[in-house]
Structure 1
């Protein structure tokens, strides 16, 4: 050892006692002080002053029990610490201690006996460390771990569990029990491969998925997993690797979701879409033959007065109306389930709508010898809504009332204003409804027992449509009955709006003016019957059976009106309309679609193609006649 260094060490050794005192005094992170054999404080360092709040003058000479809570002092714990330190040569403890200001802190305490050269006890050294922050951190960590554990245990829709680095299952939550239908006793301590199908185990899938998770940190997979003793289920599995600070693999966490319900929902959605598409196509295919039949019946009714023929055509007309309604109901089922029913809002007098509905169902009521009475307020009940859809509501209610009322029964309709609401009631003295049927009356495909044979058709969605349409108008609908055999009352309420002073519900008589019409339809019969009806009304009509032929006809001069089928050969009605609009004079012609396609998307496509109106087959001949007459009236008046 170099001489200068030896001299420095000897000098320090000579000052050892003083140097040690200064060293202890400079420590601020620990309270270090000496006690007499009885526990009286003999020394005090700066760390003790910082931690406990007492100065040396305040602490020296007092018993160290002043740092202990009252309960610990009462049970003699300070003296017990000194006793154990004397017996064992050292005593360490953790617990609450008291500061000068009365606050407590969590302390780690080490007490060691001090012996003289003869081994006699001359006092104790006491080292105190404030662990409050560490204990709070540990408490928060424990609480977080407990909360996470409780969270994982409470999850029931997903299986969440841990594996060790070798793939053995270490934890199992309640979701695991439900998803796998296996208990912790069946799985914990066993390899995760036990949760795979035999074929996947044979192909090494468990090993490969864990290896992928270890390499990429997270691995996603879909596949079959074991369920119960011998079953399996489609699963979505996320496997994440766990590592320590050094990056070494310590295990895996797995989250497993049972896709059985999800796959079923996807399958049902796909099936529902196919059903909707089928219904739309079926409705179109049914409407095409219904249109010429309807118009042919209208022609027969106009030109023949022979009693037997008239009775026959009336029968055909009634049954055709029923068949048309069934086709409309088919399409409305699709619209309801697809949420695609829309309304065109304008001011409508609900009294006139109800009156029109009574007129529309009068023939059915007369065939059953029903007495139909109406009681309306004298003032108009103006609502903001779609007149056609609201008419559909009350026609459906009146039709239902007739269907479920015996011959000679009574139907009463009333419309009143109350608290800003138009309240319409349709009451019959028919077969009524039991409690169970009342609860389900507005559900799709629900029907009561008929009082008569099922001769009217219908799909059991009338009240469902009523509810949907009324709610779209911001209204309510409710059914009430005193029970089977006591009749039924259906109440519709709709919010009333103030009239803007315009005539909102009348249709002026179009007069007897005539127009030139081009009918375009590949169905020869349908085109001919429409032409015949319009010719009887005095209009000049020509016919084309495909798009090119229609375009060729208008090149020689546009007619006033084009009635256009959409499903044409060679080019669609939409294409025909677009090309007509681009031709000289094409911007002024009125183009009307007459098609079996009647969904909202079909109407939107027609509007986009430049078509002014879209009628759905079979259109009522009277409606078509009035529409064409109104165009003629406007043309002659110079309004278009």
Structure 2
């Protein structure tokens, strides 16, 4: 830089006097100051160039580069770190980690590490997970803090670099998991390794591999020992696989059974590969062996399960065919009888026969539906028993008397034996026990030809009452006997189809007996030699006989409102009730039914649950809210008769729940009960 010229005083004297000395000194000082300014400017420019160079260099790396002062405040951070922070350098300078949003534990850790670097003058390394407060960028970071020493050897600042090792950590973790899984797989699969030197014949097996063949760890291995450990039926096949692998240059792959010294059989899968020299000669074969006994067991179970599913599917198809057949059978006589009732004179013999046919066939349909529902209830655990303490002899007498006509019609003798004089006290649901005995007797009558005999006996010991039904009928084949209590299983399909039934009776018997804590067993000497079914029920202590009570005197005929959208069902039930002297009015939907109830104030409301506008539960709740109708007794009519349905009806305000088609005896009992 050129120095500015010094102005000359043209009026000053030319000689150098005492005043000239200060001026010369001033000029020298000014020149020195100008030189210092030039040097400082050059030094500043060089510093700025060095800063730009340092920042440029540090910003080319993916690592974070930064500098702390001795108080842990940032004095520098490269662009990569600023990007992760989402900040500018002026926002960072002079601030600590905590002031930049780091969590307290993270800040405290770095402050301890900075103090340690200052004290020891040695670098310190670490690894930490970190999420940037502003950007949310997360990673696992590896860092090093290094002391920066001054001329006097003291620490002036702390330089740091940090590297993102997230991907490396993920790879390392995945590798560790893979290795651990491989180790666990080997242990779980009982996998062993083997090596066969084909030139020397030497065979090396790991101890785990020897154990797979039932051999002790110290066993000296040879090809002969290997073959000797294989099941005799598999040896030829395995040796063939070995020869094929060596001759055809292909992988060895074989599954075999091994017979251990204790006689147990285990399945092994062995795979290997041969090594060949330059002349194509096999010199070595190595591979692995693993225990596949569990897999083979599972395969066998799956095969059995598939076979059972096929059998179940076959039985299902047969059952659906039988169901269609059984449901259609009653329809033809019912339809014919209806035609007769329309054409025959009232009270004539033809009309009486028609009514009898309709009654019998309707009962048959009801039994079919009940059997289906009961099997479903038992399988779902929805059967509710109403237990009573009673003498089992009473049930035997009642059921045999009820079925006397069935046996007489079939030409089969029904005999009751060994009833004894002592009561057989049991705690049972009398309806369900009657159903058990009824199913056994009807089944016996069905498969016993005319002229045959069915015998019922009831015996007891200290703990059990034993009810036995024995017949001289068709009998049961030994192969079918274990399955007779399964749903939809029938013996001799052609005969069963001609005799009717769905194959549910014995399944119901078994389910109901077991619900009572009893057992049932079927026996037969084979086809044509009859069958015997024995039900055992636990005995209880004799109970005090209840005092005799006089039957309740029926009240006068009832005023009834019947709400049902099924016109045929409503009108026929109304006609039945009217024939018994009751006053019945009907409605076909919920709203008109509720209006009719409010108008008539009946004693009973018989209400279908499934109505087109509101369901029966809504009707019950609405009527129960009317103070003027508190004395009306509500009875639900529904095709759904599970325990949950009954409970829902009670919760809505019904006093009773009757399954469709309505049991007239049950309905009569309700209508004669006092409120």
- Cα distance in 1 for partners of 2:456, 2:346 equals 36
Determine helix, strand or coil for the equivalent of 1:335: helix
| Partner residue, 1:443 | 486
Determine helix, strand or coil for the equivalent of 1:511: coil
| Partner residue, 2:458 | 415
Deviation at 1:418, TM superposition (A): 2.2
CA shift in 2, pair 1:507/1:352, >3 Å: farther
Contact kept, 8 Å, 1:475 with 1:493, in 2: the verdict is yes
Alignment of 1:560-639 (within 5 A): 560-625=603-668, 627-628=669-670, 631-632=671-672, 634-635=673-674
- Cα distance in 2 for partners of 1:581, 1:504 equals 37
CA shift in 2, pair 1:498/1:453, >3 Å: closer
CA shift in 2, pair 1:519/1:445, >3 Å: same
1:520-564 deviations in Å (ceiling 9; x for gaps): 211111111111111222222221211112211222353222222
- Cα distance in 1 for partners of 2:629, 2:190 equals 69
2:189 is matched with which residue: 153, 159, 178? Answer: 153
Deviation at 1:447, TM superposition (A): 0.9
1:412-441 deviations in Å (ceiling 9; x for gaps): 222233223222111211111222222221
Q: Pairwise CA RMSD of aligned residues?
A: 4.7
Deviation at 1:574, TM superposition (A): 1.4
CA shift in 2, pair 1:363/1:549, >3 Å: farther
| Residue 361 (str. 1) matches residue 395 (str. 2) | no
| Partner residue, 2:473 | 430
CA shift in 2, pair 1:154/1:399, >3 Å: farther
CA shift in 2, pair 1:154/1:419, >3 Å: farther
| Partner residue, 2:581 | 538
| Partner residue, 2:370 | 328
1:457 is matched with which residue: 474, 490, 500? Answer: 500
Deviation at 1:305, TM superposition (A): 4.3
Contact kept, 8 Å, 1:348 with 1:504, in 2: the verdict is no
| Partner residue, 1:56 | none
Determine helix, strand or coil for the equivalent of 2:444: helix
CA shift in 2, pair 1:527/1:149, >3 Å: closer
Determine helix, strand or coil for the equivalent of 1:402: helix
2:520 is matched with which residue: 477, 482, 498? Answer: 477
2:350 is matched with which residue: 301, 308, 320? Answer: 308
| Residue 345 (str. 1) matches residue 381 (str. 2) | no
Contact kept, 8 Å, 1:563 with 1:592, in 2: the verdict is yes
| Partner residue, 2:156 | none
Deviation at 1:326, TM superposition (A): 2.0
Alignment of 1:80-159 (within 5 A): 151-154=187-190
1:491 is matched with which residue: 531, 534, 552? Answer: 534
- Cα distance in 1 for partners of 2:181, 2:499 equals 68
| Partner residue, 1:402 | 445
Contact kept, 8 Å, 1:406 with 1:451, in 2: the verdict is no
- Cα distance in 1 for partners of 2:188, 2:640 equals 53
- Cα distance in 1 for partners of 2:632, 2:412 equals 47
CA shift in 2, pair 1:506/1:434, >3 Å: farther
Determine helix, strand or coil for the equivalent of 1:542: strand
Alignment of 1:118-267 (within 5 A): 151-154=187-190, 185=271
Structure 2 length-normalised TM: 0.49
Structure 2 regions of 5+ residues with no counterpart?
1-179, 192-207, 213-253, 256-266, 274-297
- Cα distance in 2 for partners of 1:451, 1:517 equals 49
Contact kept, 8 Å, 1:381 with 1:496, in 2: the verdict is yes
- Cα distance in 1 for partners of 2:509, 2:625 equals 42
| Partner residue, 1:46 | none
CA shift in 2, pair 1:444/1:513, >3 Å: same
- Cα distance in 2 for partners of 1:505, 1:423 equals 29
Deviation at 1:385, TM superposition (A): 2.3
CA shift in 2, pair 1:483/1:549, >3 Å: same
| Partner residue, 1:391 | 434
| Residue 516 (str. 1) matches residue 552 (str. 2) | no
Alignment of 1:264-275 (within 5 A): none
- Cα distance in 2 for partners of 1:547, 1:614 equals 17
1:363-394 deviations in Å (ceiling 9; x for gaps): 32222122222243434433222222222111
1:326-347 deviations in Å (ceiling 9; x for gaps): 2223323433443433323333
- Cα distance in 2 for partners of 1:486, 1:505 equals 46
- Cα distance in 2 for partners of 1:390, 1:514 equals 34
- Work out which structure has the larger RCO, using CA pairs closer than 8 Å and 6 or more positions apart in sequence: 1
- Cα distance in 2 for partners of 1:381, 1:614 equals 33
Determine helix, strand or coil for the equivalent of 1:378: coil
Contact kept, 8 Å, 1:352 with 1:505, in 2: the verdict is no
Deviation at 1:147, TM superposition (A): 11
Contact kept, 8 Å, 1:347 with 1:504, in 2: the verdict is no
Structure 1 length-normalised TM: 0.51
- Cα distance in 2 for partners of 1:462, 1:505 equals 35
CA shift in 2, pair 1:617/1:360, >3 Å: farther
| Partner residue, 1:48 | none
- Cα distance in 1 for partners of 2:468, 2:587 equals 48
Contact kept, 8 Å, 1:346 with 1:385, in 2: the verdict is yes
- How many pairs align? 385
Determine helix, strand or coil for the equivalent of 2:480: helix
Contact kept, 8 Å, 1:404 with 1:450, in 2: the verdict is no
Determine helix, strand or coil for the equivalent of 1:423: strand
Structure 1 consecutive aligned stretches of length 4 or more whose deviation exceeds 4 Å = 144-151, 181-187, 450-453, 504-507
Determine helix, strand or coil for the equivalent of 2:382: coil
- Cα distance in 1 for partners of 2:421, 2:347 equals 40
- Cα distance in 1 for partners of 2:184, 2:660 equals 63
Contact kept, 8 Å, 1:412 with 1:428, in 2: the verdict is yes
Determine helix, strand or coil for the equivalent of 2:497: coil
- Cα distance in 1 for partners of 2:507, 2:436 equals 10
- Cα distance in 2 for partners of 1:564, 1:453 equals 39
Determine helix, strand or coil for the equivalent of 1:454: helix
- Cα distance in 2 for partners of 1:560, 1:349 equals 38
- Cα distance in 2 for partners of 1:561, 1:377 equals 46
1:497-516 deviations in Å (ceiling 9; x for gaps): 23543549999465363222
